Chains A and B, each alone.
Chain A
């Protein structure tokens, strides 16, 4: 647990920077009188092409399948985390097991690519 305290300090530094930078903008916005109630503020992309409301159909499905595939490979990371932190202790057998694990999951990844699930069209 103690080793994670360093991580917490790093996180707090990152959080401070992340909170400071947009707040500097907010202060300058007060002087520049930027309209916060503007409808554009609620758009996903403020400076993009105006969207045709509401977006539905396959557009949503593409986003959703990308997010789902990401979720599954995120879970793979969870299982590889213990392997990574005790890499030396596990030896050659550990490497072989982890590669078997990744190989099986790679089949799914190749399937997703073959089906064009990660293609933006």
Chain B
């Protein structure tokens, strides 16, 4: 059951990712990317990495897509649809993608078979997060505070 779901969501995620880069309409591409992110979250759930799956859905499916769509909102979507893809940028993208894939496959082949399922549910993570790693947890809030203030300060510079 788990394996069927794993491959199902994996294929859905890959297909939607492909759609998101080949779609002529950028908004449609954004929605396909959202589907891809959520399917990837489901893939994490099927292998037992619940917390990572939750982060994937909340952060990527929620916030990152909102950022993308807000940026797309201000662009002329029709003009982007008519724009020709430049050969040089396509070649550079393909080169980088293949390089990244080779690196990932090399690293993955090193650890293949050695990985054991560890604690990854949100419930199991709560105790270490709130007791053993209390200080880093609170420091994260300061980090987020700094990021908030930085984002606001840069975007709302005194006019």
Residues on A facing B (Cβ under 8 Å)? 1, 4, 8, 39, 42-44, 53-56, 59-72, 74-79, 81-83, 85-86, 89-90, 93-94, 97-98, 100-102, 104-105, 107-109, 111-112, 115-117
Contacts and interface: CB of A to CB of B under 8 A. Distances in A.
A77 B57 CA distance: 12
A8 B134 CA distance: 33
A74 B59 contact: yes
A71 B151 CA distance: 11
Interface residues of B, number: 50
A80 to B, nearest CB: 10
Label chain A's interface by main secondary structure: helix
B142 interface: yes
A12 to B, nearest CB: 11
Contact of A117 (B25, B66, B156): B156
Interface stretch (B43-51, B86-94, B102-110): B43-51
Nearest to B75: A54
Given A94-B130, A104-B142, A85 B122 contact: yes
Contacts of B151: 65, 68-69, 72
Nearest to A97: B130
A38 B63 CA distance: 30
A104 B151 CA distance: 16
